[in-house]
Amino acid sequence: MALEAWRSHEKSEGYVSVLMEMPYATPERTITHLKERRPWYGKIQLPIRSDTGRDEGVKHLECHDLDCLLAVIRMLIAGRFIPENKYRRSAIMTCAFHRFGQDEPADYKAREMLISKLFPDYLDNLDILQAKLTFGNLMKHPGIDKVIFGDPSFGLKNNLLLSFNKGLEQSASYRFHPSSFEDMTNESEVKWDGIETLGKTVADQSADIDRVAENEAADGTKIFRRYCNVPQFIRVLFTPTEGHPRCFDDVREFQLVAPVLQPDGAGMLEEAMSDWSYRLAAVVRINPEDPVGDQTEVRVYNAYGRMIRPHRAGIIKADSKWKLGDPKFSFMLFYSRWDPVPPEMLYHVPAHLDPPAEYRSPSPDYIFDNPMLPVWDPKSPSRDEEDEARSDTRTSDSPLDLGLPSNVNATRRNSRARVEDSPSDLGLPSNVNTTRHNNRTTVEDSSSDLGLPSNVSGKRDSQGYREPTRRG
């Protein structure tokens, strides 16, 4: 039973699911939370720590690699990753949905519970356990390999192997031999050395079709083909090669052009070529020479190649400002298929506010990444005196920092933004005063504009509602 402990959905003390905490939140707020919140400090304490955290004989164990894996999985969830039903309540998914970054003891306990389910036989031998917690070993664990990378959304090759006899009518000799995606996880990981372009390398490894051998085969020979699956996610192990430098711009996006099978409209299948765009979602930097001593680091990105800064960066391992493509390291790249959406479904973010950025140094005052999304932080943990003093300081922001036109004045206190617009910006008469708080605009009209007596003022919110208020 110990080998299957990772299937358990047992929850730790203090566990709070993101979905439980934010039952009425918009998808955008939940996605922002998953992308930005990280576990505390990159350590665990064994045996399981008490509420005080001062047990005798407690040992600290570094687990930055586990934190990186959790950050990647949360990014995948934000990108619509949904595991199969039998794995939705597994230990790794339960932990990934924890509300990280708001309750330090609860964060510790959530990870400790996960480790106790993944490696129940090594909890008493911390040296072995430490070696097990490297990013590479974690990815090979069945509790992650099957749940995450064995999912059809990561299946680079189709799980149906097609066979037919050369020289015969193909439709009469078609046979499909099904396989399990869980048994094909190794084939779904692209290996790239940077010599060829990334798109060509992925295309070459996404299907098993040997046209040369097929042409040379005699009639009646059994032909086997496995087509590309065009998955939702693709992972690439990038091992840079000396003499073939690659940089961030080389990996931000690629086009997958590979042979696929698709319905022909007459109940049959026909071969076609895929043409899908994949965009970088996360990068994990790995030191293959010292995976235990130099633990991994992770960066996550939005769809436009801009690094997403983690919430309260002081509670996680500091980024060493590494460069993607450095031959001293290897890199695990995670891509998400870019499904175009109608422009009206997108938040409009000016281009100068969302340019690609491989690395962004977190600001001490950093609160949230996307200036166009409302802040969600209803139960922020207590801050130290320095943070508290800084948060109570009223600061004036540049309009461009908030994504506003240059003729708009803005002030912000704590996590709430107050924007003062000129009436002309909102298309209102010059005798109308306006203020906007967060996403809600309040318009103060003169009493004459509303047709009210001179001793009555009126306010109108962004939905057009007017509320007269009598003075005196």
Candidate from 149-158, 228-237, 418-427 with smallest mean pLDDT = 418-427
Comparing 464 with 42, the larger pLDDT belongs to 42
Q: How confident is the model at residue 258 (pLDDT cuts 50, 70, 90)?
A: very high
Is residue 280 classed exposed, middle or buried when 0-12, 13-18 and 19+ CB atoms within 10 A define those classes?
Answer: buried
Looking at residue 378, what is its pLDDT? 35
Average confidence (pLDDT) over 167-186: 81
Q: How confident is the model at residue 47 (pLDDT cuts 50, 70, 90)?
A: low
Ramachandran angles phi, psi of 419, nearest 5°? -115, 125
Comparing 21 with 430, the larger pLDDT belongs to 21
Structure-derived torsion over alpha carbons of residues 67, 70, 76, 79, reported in degrees to the nearest 10: -80
Q: How confident is the model at residue 344 (pLDDT cuts 50, 70, 90)?
A: low
Under DSSP, the state recorded for 358 is: S
Per-residue pLDDT tens for 102-146?
Answer: 888 888 889 989 999 999 988 888 889 999 999 999 999 999 999
Looking at residue 277, what is its pLDDT? 94
Q: Cβ atoms within 10 A of the Cβ of 67, count?
A: 26
Q: Is the pLDDT of residue 342 over 70?
A: no
Q: What percent of the chain has pLDDT over 70?
A: 67
Ramachandran angles phi, psi of 208, nearest 5°? -115, 90
Domain borders along the chain are: 1-149, 153-339, 395-470
What does each C-alpha distance from 254 to 201, 236, 276, 356 come to in angstroms? 10, 12, 9, 15
Which pair of structure tokens corresponds to residue 73? 């999985």
Looking at residue 153, what is its pLDDT? 95
Looking at residue 327, what is its pLDDT? 93
Instruction: Quote the distance between the C-alpha of residue 107 and its chain's center.
Output: 19
**Strand bridging mode 233-238 / 222-225:** unpaired
Looking at residue 91, what is its pLDDT? 94
Per-residue pLDDT tens for 272-317?
Answer: 999 999 999 999 999 999 998 899 999 999 888 999 988 877 677 7
Looking at residue 343, what is its pLDDT? 56
Q: Is the pLDDT of residue 199 over 80?
A: yes
Looking at residue 126, what is its pLDDT? 85
SS3 62: strand
Q: Is the pLDDT of residue 411 over 80?
A: no
The whole-model pTM stands at 0.73
Per-residue pLDDT tens for 346-373?
Answer: 555 555 566 888 888 875 444 444 433 3
Under DSSP, the state recorded for 392 is: T
Candidate from 95-109, 204-218, 228-242, 448-462 with smallest mean pLDDT = 448-462
Per-residue pLDDT tens for 380-405?
Answer: 343 333 333 433 433 344 333 333 44
